[in-house]
Homo-oligomer: A and B are copies of this chain.
């Protein structure tokens, strides 16, 4: 057992992940008591985590009913996507990092993983890799505020893609993702964070278009 803060973050992170990977699909009723028991704590600290998830719009607590995982709809989230695109682009101009060998190695790692995914594509593994690659994208700017806001907005919309993938062509999506990583790798190797940011923005935009059509 660590100190309270890190333990809280662990629980928060785990629940957020379950919600965004649809382990808890929209409409699921979470029981405070059950979750508290699972994480080996009591309702009080767990409620603090749920309160944060509620502030971020991932769950909704209703007195006398339960804590319910919210539903997400692409049309309602268009505003969020608009902002996410702008923030993605800003990552290239607001305090961009100096690219080191470590950065290049990281993007190569993602390239390898995306190729492996192409050979054995599953929706869940794809979503997880996408999430990890998003976090890598955050590290391209040193602006902490930008990172925080981007992350918050990302998790607000992360479920939409996974909810729609059954109606889309998984192999084609993986292919597009692979190419995004390749393009990003080219930009990073050339030390061009600005280009990497624009690539990211473009792919968010295209992804929204594909999602709306499905």
Contact residues of A with B, CB < 8 Å? 4, 44, 47-48, 51-52, 55, 63, 79-80, 82-83, 86, 90, 94-95, 142-146, 149, 152-153, 156
List B contacts of A52 (CB < 8 A): 51-52, 55
Copies in the complex: 2
Which partner residue on chain B sits nearest A86 by CB separation?
B90
List B contacts of A79 (CB < 8 A): 94-95, 142-146
Are A145 and B80 touching (Cβ within 8 A)? yes
List B contacts of A142 (CB < 8 A): 79
Interface of A is mostly: helix
Are A83 and B4 touching (Cβ within 8 A)? no
* Contact (A82, B143) CB under 8 Å given A4-B63, A63-B4, A149-B149: yes
List B contacts of A83 (CB < 8 A): 90, 94, 143, 145-146, 149
List B contacts of A44 (CB < 8 A): 44
Q: Least Cβ distance of A31 to chain B in Å?
A: 19
Please report the C-alpha to C-alpha distance between residue A52 and residue B79 in the assembled complex, in whole angstroms. Answer: 24
Which partner residue on chain B sits nearest A157 by CB separation?
B145
Are B63 and A82 touching (Cβ within 8 A)? no
Interface centre among A79, A83, A94, A145 (most CB of B within 10 A): A145
List B contacts of A47 (CB < 8 A): 48
Q: Least Cβ distance of A5 to chain B in Å?
A: 9
Please report the C-alpha to C-alpha distance between residue A47 and residue B9 in the assembled complex, in whole angstroms. Answer: 17
Q: Least Cβ distance of A164 to chain B in Å?
A: 20
Please report the C-alpha to C-alpha distance between residue A80 and residue B94 in the assembled complex, in whole angstroms. Answer: 10
Which partner residue on chain B sits nearest A63 by CB separation?
B4
Please report the C-alpha to C-alpha distance between residue A52 and residue B146 in the assembled complex, in whole angstroms. Answer: 19
Please report the C-alpha to C-alpha distance between residue A47 and residue B63 in the assembled complex, in whole angstroms. Answer: 18
Our pick among B51, B95, B144, B149 for the contact of A51 (Cβ within 8 Å) is: B51
List B contacts of A4 (CB < 8 A): 63
